[in-house]
């Protein structure tokens, strides 16, 4: 399996991060997650950086979640606990970067990709972008409590339930109306990226850093332990059925156990 690459470049005070696995809609492998963690550490350590952008390669997807083939090695609910803890550490590293972060979404933004976008401070998208986490229809797994909290904070309770229970994809225009997106760009998204990053570069770095952290602390004031829920879902027979069905490209037949 092609492991893909997460690429880091810089343009003056702007860091650019590219999820580069377009043949798989930039689905994240373990190697890509580790590269993202290393890049976040690089950005955090460089006080000359002022903004960071995150984008998927190929123009058809931001990130299509975690590569499902990797779940075939899971055998119990404890594997799910370890996975969610591992990913949460990386998402927290992204979420707590000391510079403003901008997710640039071309096309699909699904599952773990939506979680990564939700960790960014600002988001823009092309008009054909779609957002969702259709795991109730596809895999039969669940999110960490922290990721549920991120979605509720960014999209609201009702819309989050619709995304997760109905397994619906939300179009860019609706995501903008919900406040999740700063803007939907019909054409010339690179110009919009340059406009936003150019504006942020000229703002007070300490003010932005402190504001980000203050908001994060408010949202994290109530911690929820969801390990029992993760263990139940990843340890279920339905999760194994969902993974096998996804890899075999057939519709899963759920058992409720």
**Tokens linked to 228:** 């029992």
User: How far is it, in rounded angstroms, from Cα 108 to Cα 22?
Assistant: 11
For residue 103, the SS3 value is strand
Which residues are paired to 131 by β-bridges? 109, 170
CB contact at 8 A, 49 and 136:
no
Q: What is the mean pLDDT of residues 51-55?
A: 98
* 218 in a structural domain: no
Tell me the pLDDT band of 242, cut-offs 50, 70 and 90.
Answer: very high
Q: What is the pTM of this model?
A: 0.96
Q: What is the mean pLDDT of residues 181-198?
A: 96
Percent of the chain with pLDDT over 70: 100
* 179 in a structural domain: yes
The pLDDT value recorded for residue 1 is 65
For the chain, state the CA radius of gyration.
Answer: 18
**Tokens linked to 256:** 């409720």
Q: What is the mean pLDDT of residues 151-159?
A: 95
The pLDDT value recorded for residue 15 is 98
* 32 in a structural domain: yes
**What residue numbers bound the domain in which 83 lies?**
5-187
The pLDDT value recorded for residue 2 is 86
pLDDT in tens, 7-34: 999 999 999 999 999 999 999 999 999 9
* 140 in a structural domain: yes
**Tokens linked to 100:** 């403003």
User: How far is it, in rounded angstroms, from Cα 42 to Cα 45?
Assistant: 5
Q: What is the mean pLDDT of residues 118-138?
A: 97
Of 21, 36, 85, give the one whose Cα is nearest residue 226. Answer: 85
The pLDDT value recorded for residue 245 is 95
* 152 in a structural domain: yes
Q: What is the mean pLDDT of residues 146-151?
A: 95
Burial 176-202 (b: 16+ CB within 10 A, else e): beeebbbebbeeebeebbeebbeebbe
Q: What is the mean pLDDT of residues 187-196?
A: 96
Which CATH number do you get for residue 26? 3.90.226.10
Q: What is the mean pLDDT of residues 119-134?
A: 97
- Structural domain total, the chain: 1
* 88 in a structural domain: yes
CB contact at 8 A, 58 and 36:
no
Strands 51-56 and 101-105: parallel
């Amino acid at each position: 399996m092609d492991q893909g690459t997460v690429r880091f470049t810089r343009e003056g005070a702007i860091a650019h991060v590219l999820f580069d696995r377009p043949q798989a809609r930039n689905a994240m492998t373990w190697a890509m997650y580790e590269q993202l963690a290393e890049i976040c550490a690089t950005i955090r350590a460089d006080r000359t950086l002022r903004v960071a952008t995150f984008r998927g390669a190929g123009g058809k997807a931001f990130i299509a979640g975690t590569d499902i083939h990797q779940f075939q090695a899971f055998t119990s609910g404890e594997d799910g606990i370890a996975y969610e803890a591992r990913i949460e550490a990386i998402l927290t590293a992204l979420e707590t970067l000391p510079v403003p972060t901008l997710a640039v979404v071309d096309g699909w933004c699904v599952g773990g990709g939506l979680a990564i976008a939700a960790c960014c401070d600002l988001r823009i998208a092309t008009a054909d972008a779609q957002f969702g986490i259709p795991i109730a229809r596809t895999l039969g797994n669940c999110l960490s409590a922290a990721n549920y909290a991120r979605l509720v904070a960014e999209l609201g309770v009702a819309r989050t339930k619709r995304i997760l229970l109905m397994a619906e994809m939300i179009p860019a225009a609706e995501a903008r109306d919900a406040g999740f997106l700063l803007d939907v760009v019909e054409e010339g998204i690179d110009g919009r990226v340059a406009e936003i990053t150019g504006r942020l570069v000229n703002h007070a770095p300490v003010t932005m850093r402190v504001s980000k952290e203050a908001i994060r602390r408010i949202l994290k004031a109530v911690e929820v332990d969801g390990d029992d829920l993760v263990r139940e879902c990843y340890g279920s027979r339905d999760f194994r059925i969902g993974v096998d069905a996804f890899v075999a490209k057939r519709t899963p037949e759920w058992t409720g156990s």
